[in-house]
Structure 1
Amino acid sequence: MTRIDAKFAELKAQGKKAFVAYVMAGDPDVEKSLEIVKALPGAGVDIIELGLPFTDPMADGPTIQLAGQRALDHGMTLQKTLDMAAEFRKGDDTTPIVLMGYYNPIYSRGVDKFLVDAVEAGIDGLIIVDLPPEEDDELCIPAQKAGMNFIRLATPTTDDKRLPKVLTNTSGFVYYVSITGITGAAAASGADVAPEVARIKAKTDLPVIVGFGVRTPEKAQEIASVADGTVVGSAIVNEIAQGKSVDEIIAYVAALAEGAHRA
């Protein structure tokens, strides 16, 4: 059982929905980024998605693209991202960390070496948005053999013919992207999301977490109420981009988490 599996079992026993927060590793700089990540669990974050900066983030909107660029400008690398996770683990051995990004930096490092280093750093799962199920032998299967969850994205365009393929070899949870398009582009709707979540849950026992388009505690509650939890990314990254203090950022995250946990 991974930390992700254990967290969902714990939440289910408590009758609570999950709140997942995404931040870009190294944004706005390494020191402040680590301070934010360390404070997330205390703000009510159940699972941390740690963005891996990349030069060509094709699935991301301007907010997360710019966050990745800020991180890269401050010298953030795959190794420093793993170092950040390892540093976090010194004080927290229970909160799951999902590394989210693109395959190129992992491929460049070498899959075998990456997996050894990622497990050692305390990474629990991977979301690699540019690796489709047809490429499972590249990273998905080796990652699961190494003890990590491999989390797949489903979208409004994932039809009933495609869905079984997407769910094959997926573990940890399914990340349902509530809108078509790039991150940070539009607001999610509980009414639209509910039937899609039900459709996915009819095909899998995995928790379904919904992200994209959640910016307020009320919206976090609305979306979490029709799923197993919600993810907030661009809205948190935007707070960081505005130069707000760690305390201000964490207060915002705590309000979102409270909304999700009210569902």
Structure 2
Amino acid sequence: MSTLHEAFAAARAEDRAALVGYLPAGFPSVDGAVDAIRVMVENGVDVVEIGLPYSDPLMDGPTIQAAAEQSLRQGTTTRDVLATAEAVARTGAPTLVMTYWNPIERYGIERFARDLASAGGTGVITPDLTPEEAGPWIAATDEAGLDRVFLVAPSSSDERIDVVCGITSGFVYAASLMGVTGVKSVSAAAPELVARTRPRTSLPIAVGLGVSTPDQAADVAAYADGVIVGSAFVRLLLDAETPAAGVAAVGRLAAELAEGVRRHAHV
């Protein structure tokens, strides 16, 4: 059992959903991202997603795009992302990288999987990698012992959900909104998507895109195994007057969300 599976199992044993927190590497700086993520973990985030900043982020909303652009302007590289993963993994929280496919291909598929595993990372979320093109990645992650996370969406057919679940090994990422990420509201399609996915996998199902408040976290925690929050954390860092104030605000939100996922008995 990987550390990722252990985290979901521990949450389930407490009759709650796991809280998954996202921040892009290199934002507001390389060290600043590590500081913010450590505080997230200290305040109740169970699983960490580290974003690999990319110049053409099709799925990201304006908040995460702004943070990624700042990170790229400051020169953040894939090596910095791996160093961030290594620092975060030392907290003991399962640490995944969320990245578009192009940076992995450019870095080297086997090399990326091997280097992330060496850094203590537990898995990778690849939002734009289709199952049909995933063969080399499946081989590389199997070899390195990394968990793979693929996405399902409200538009996914039952057959497509079957295919995605068949190649996923970490958790199934249920994207609750059609379109880009951002602090909006969780789509009414999310519970139905989880219900359609549930019979097709024994893996945990985590819902992302749109969760930003403790109430939303509590609502999602009632039917999903994991609650993913990204843009809300990023927004606090973007709006903060100082890096220290941003880290403090991130810690407060993490604690509130951690309370949210514990509020309703998990089904």
Quote the residue 1:7 is aligned against.
7
CA distance in 2, matches of 1:222, 1:4: 23
Tell me, yes or no, if structure 1 residue 242 matches structure 2 residue 239: yes
Quote the residue 2:98 is aligned against.
100
Query: 1:121-136 to 2 correspondence within 5 Å?
Result: 121-136=119-134
CA distance in 2, matches of 1:228, 1:238: 25
Tell me, yes or no, if structure 1 residue 251 matches structure 2 residue 259: no
Query: 1:44-193 to 2 correspondence within 5 Å?
Result: 44-90=44-90, 92=91, 94-184=92-182, 186-189=184-187, 192-193=189-190
CA distance in 1, matches of 2:119, 2:61: 28
- C-alpha contact 1:96 1:123 (8 A) present in aligned 2: yes
Return the letter of the residue paired with 1:172. Answer: G
Tell me, yes or no, if structure 1 residue 36 matches structure 2 residue 36: yes
Q: Secondary structure at the match of 1:150?
A: strand
Quote the residue 1:233 is aligned against.
230
Q: How far does the alpha carbon of each residue in 1:132-183 deviate from its partner, in whole angstroms, 9 at most, with x for none? A: 1001213133212311110011100011122111112101110101111111
CA distance in 1, matches of 2:261, 2:142: 29
Q: Secondary structure at the match of 1:175?
A: strand
- C-alpha contact 1:153 1:174 (8 A) present in aligned 2: yes
User: Normalized against structure 1, the TM-score is what?
Assistant: 0.94
- C-alpha contact 2:85 2:96 (8 A) present in aligned 1: no
Q: How far does the alpha carbon of each residue in 1:105-145 deviate from its partner, in whole angstroms, 9 at most, with x for none? A: 11111112112211111111111111110012131332123
Q: Which moved more, 1:240-249 or 1:67-76?
A: 240-249
CA distance in 1, matches of 2:246, 2:144: 37
Return the letter of the residue paired with 2:50. Answer: L
Return the letter of the residue paired with 1:247. Answer: A
Gaps of 5+ in 1: none
CA distance in 2, matches of 1:176, 1:16: 17
Q: 1:88–1:227: structure 2 CA closer, same or farther, 3 Å change rule?
A: closer
CA distance in 2, matches of 1:81, 1:245: 20
User: Normalized against structure 2, the TM-score is what?
Assistant: 0.93
- C-alpha contact 2:51 2:99 (8 A) present in aligned 1: yes
Tell me, yes or no, if structure 1 residue 199 matches structure 2 residue 185: no
Question: RMSD over aligned Cα, in angstroms?
Answer: 1.4
Of all paired residues, the percent bearing the same amino acid is 38
Quote the residue 2:215 is aligned against.
218
Count, aligned residues: 260
The alpha carbon displacement at 1:97 in A equals: 0.7
- C-alpha contact 1:23 1:236 (8 A) present in aligned 2: yes
Q: Which moved more, 1:155-164 or 1:136-145?
A: 136-145
The alpha carbon displacement at 1:245 in A equals: 2.6
- C-alpha contact 1:19 1:261 (8 A) present in aligned 2: no
CA distance in 2, matches of 1:85, 1:42: 16
Q: Secondary structure at the match of 1:138?
A: helix
Gaps of 5+ in 2: none
The alpha carbon displacement at 1:233 in A equals: 0.8
Return the letter of the residue paired with 1:216. Answer: T
Poorly superposed stretches of 4+, deviation over 4 Å: none
The alpha carbon displacement at 1:185 in A equals: 6.3
Return the letter of the residue paired with 2:153. Answer: T
- C-alpha contact 1:119 1:146 (8 A) present in aligned 2: yes
- C-alpha contact 1:179 1:186 (8 A) present in aligned 2: no
Return the letter of the residue paired with 2:248. Answer: D
Quote the residue 1:209 is aligned against.
206
Q: Secondary structure at the match of 1:126?
A: strand
Q: Secondary structure at the match of 2:97?
A: strand
